[in-house]
Amino acid sequence: MKKNVFIIGLGLIGGSIALAIKKEHNCTIYGFDIQAEQLKIAKSLKVIDQISDSIEAGVKEADLIIIATPVSKTEQIFEEMSQYTFKAGAIMTDVGSTKSRIVEKSAALLGSNVTFIGGHPMAGSHKTGVEAAKAHLFENAFYVLTPTETTDNRAMIQLQNWLKGTKAKFVNLAPGEHDALAGAISHFPHVIATSLVHQVRKLESEEPLLSRLAAGGFRDITRIASASPIMWRDIFIHNKAVLLELISNWINEMEDVKQLLETEDKETIYQYFYEAKAFRDRMPVREKGAIPSFYDLFVDVPDHPGVISDVTSILADHEISITNIRILETREDIMGVLRLSFRSEEDRELAKDCLEQALYETSIL
């Protein structure tokens, strides 16, 4: 018998999971979103097969239910679902970036026929909306599942089987363990990036040239601060305890840095930067982590007309797609630099080989 999948929230993540499931399973995918336009787009792009009129109607015959909404909305949905009827043996999961509170709130479903298993696919894109959904979005990314001590192991196996089309790397963590790790490598870096932007914003009133000068490297290192304010408001509140501890540790770290500056101990300052560089350089470059990767290639280009079209033509001839292109530096009589962004590590490596065969100098930072 053909099985049914119900996806609540048809943005980038929900849409991409739907496509990944379609790739591996002969099933009917139903969708619901509070934005009617997103539903229409999802149906027209064949991300979903049918539109559900409501959440209550969608869950009744669903074998798999995926909640792909902001975490605060997921909490509300749990409360609504406490009165709903589910199909016997149904499995439910979510995609939220925090897990402890979500798993606690899922207790509202106790006594129903559904098994909830928390989930967090650690992948994303600079694009949003269901029109940006891709079946390969999660390929080689970590996909964290947060079962509890009472979770049926058969349900875990079934969920991973449903999601095998993502080609993600599944990792099982306790909800609290997930939040601690995600806080350190994803949530807290967003706080720091946002704080850096605020610092420059406040200084700009005194130095109007500041934002223009910040358009280069500063803009690059704070890219993650451009993420959805709604999503990050919810994450900030949901992972409060972890973030408070990390902020306290960061204040202590900055006190140490302040001390280094005051003493001007050259060897200790050198060692501080050296150890950070060594640790970062040991990090795997081909792994997808909690923060979406940017597959950038830097290309030195001479100052003459048509050079950019030459670079793009070489890539087009080899059917390599560019997701973004930016001129970092171009001044008369000196080499300029192009930053080309690609959707995957493989595309970047292929582009690097093609351009170097055409005698362009490239680099990956």
The CATH number for 236's domain is 1.10.3660.10
- 206 found inside a domain: yes
Domain boundary (259, 281, 303) is at: 281
Q: Provide mean pLDDT across the span 147-163.
A: 93
Give the least confident one: 15-24, 101-110, 356-365: 356-365
Which amino acid is residue 177, in one-letter code?
Answer: E
Model pLDDT, residue 1: 78
Listed residues 140, 155, 173: the one ending a domain: 173
The number of folded domains in the chain is: 3
pTM recorded for the entire structure: 0.75
pLDDT score recorded for residue 326: 78
Would you say residue 289 lies in a domain?
Answer: no
**Residue 287 included in any domain:** no
Cα distance between residue 341 and residue 296, in whole Å: 4
DSSP E strands: which ranges in the chain?
Answer: 3-8, 27-32, 50-51, 64-67, 91-94, 115-121, 142-146, 169-172, 295-301, 324-329, 336-342, 361-363
Give percent helix, percent strand, percent coil of the chain, each to the nearest 5.
Answer: 50, 15, 35
CA distances from 234 to 5, 28, 98 (A): 26, 31, 9
When pLDDT is averaged across residues 161-172 and rounded to a whole number, the result is 94
User: Using the 8-state DSSP alphabet, how is residue 168 labeled?
Assistant: -
Residues 187 and 63 in one domain: no
Predicted confidence at residue 332, as pLDDT, reads: 42
Give the pair of three-digit tokens for residue 270.
């050198």
Q: What is the pLDDT of residue 217?
A: 74
Question: Average per-residue pLDDT in the chain?
Answer: 88
Question: Do residues 166 and 208 both lie within one domain?
Answer: no
CA atoms of 249 and 35, how far apart (whole Å): 41
Give ∠ CA 58-62-65 in degrees, rounded to 5: 85
Least confident of 113-127, 185-199, 322-336: 322-336
Per-residue pLDDT at 330 exceeds 50: no
The region of weakest confidence among 13-17, 55-59, 106-110 is: 106-110
Boundary-marking domain end, from 122, 146, 173: 173
Is 238 found in the same domain as 165? Answer: no
Rg of the chain taking only CA atoms, in angstroms? 23
Domain match, 16 and 52 both: yes
Is residue 288 a part of any domain in this protein?
no
In a domain, 137, yes or no: yes
**Same domain flag for 182 and 274:** yes
Same structural domain for residues 249 and 160? no
CB 129 within 8 A of CB 38: yes
Do 132 and 11 sit in the same domain of this protein?
Answer: yes
Q: Indicate if 315 and 265 belong to the same structural domain.
A: no
Cβ of 27: how many Cβ atoms within 10 Å?
16
Q: Flag whether pLDDT at 83 surpasses 60.
A: yes
pLDDT value for 86: 93
- pLDDT average, residue stretch 46-60: 94
Res 287: pLDDT = 56
Mean pLDDT of 313-336: 74
Sheet holding 115-121, edge to edge: 50-51, 27-32, 3-8, 64-67, 91-94, 115-121, 142-146, 169-172
Residue with tokens 């009472």: 150
Note whether 47 and 15 are within 8 A (CB). yes
* Helix pair angle (240-263, 266-281), 10° resolution: 140
pLDDT at 255 over 90: yes
Predicted pLDDT at 300? 85
Integer CA distances (angstroms), 179 to 96, 239, 241, in order: 11, 7, 10
User: With 90 as the cut, is the pLDDT of residue 204 above it?
Assistant: no
Handedness of CA 341, 343, 348, 350 (dihedral sign): negative
Q: Which of 22-26, 49-53, 345-349 has the lowest mean pLDDT?
A: 345-349
358 lies in the same domain as 229? no
Print the domain residue range for 343. 295-363
**pLDDT reported for residue 303:** 67
Higher-confidence residue: 143 or 332? 143
Q: Does residue 34 share a domain with residue 135?
A: yes
| Percent of the chain's residues with pLDDT above 70 | 93
Which CATH number characterizes residue 40's domain? Answer: 3.40.50.720
**Could you tell me if 329 and 337 are in contact, meaning their C-beta atoms sit under 8 angstroms apart?**
yes
- pLDDT for residue 163 is more than 90: yes
- The answer to whether residues 348 and 297 touch, using CB atoms and an 8 Å cutoff, is yes
Whether the pLDDT of residue 334 is over 50: the answer is no
Query: In this structure, are residues 268 and 309 in contact, taking their beta carbons and an 8 Å threshold?
Result: no
215 and 135 in one domain?
Answer: no
**CATH number where 359 lies:** 3.30.2130.10
Which carries the bigger pLDDT value, residue 46 or residue 365? 46
Residue 42 within any structural domain of the chain: yes
The pair of three-digit structure tokens given for residue 361, joined into one six-digit string:
């100098």
Residue 345's pLDDT is: 80
- pLDDT tens for 175-184 read 999 999 999 9
Q: What is the pLDDT of residue 333?
A: 43
pLDDT of residue 331: 42
Say whether both 164 and 190 belong to one domain: no
pLDDT at 291: 52
- Whether residue 299 lies inside any domain: the answer is yes
Question: How high is the pLDDT of residue 290?
Answer: 52
Burial of 1 (0-12, 13-18, 19+ CB in 10 A): exposed
- Identify any residues that bridge with 362 across adjacent strands, giving them in sequence order: 299
pLDDT at residue 126 is higher than 70: no
Which stretches of 273-323 are assigned E, i.e. beta strand?
295-301
In a domain, 205, yes or no: yes
